[in-house]
Structure 1
């Protein structure tokens, strides 16, 4: 699982990024055991 934050807003049509622009931040979501 991950999260990616883009510069702009998703246009809800284009794939895969929704024409939202470049990536601002990204990270991995996981469980620590």
Structure 2
């Protein structure tokens, strides 16, 4: 992908997800994971 591997890349992807989808986009995957 466009992001570096490791924790930094994960944080960058999380930030991008929040910008695009909002907090709902972040919470929904956590709920479905249970």
Instruction: Calculate the TM-score normalised by the size of structure 2.
Output: 0.22
Where is the helix percentage greater, Structure 1 or Structure 2? 2
Q: Kindly indicate whether structure 1 or structure 2 has the higher relative contact order, using CA contacts under 8 Å at least 6 residues apart.
A: 1
Where is the strand percentage greater, Structure 1 or Structure 2? 1
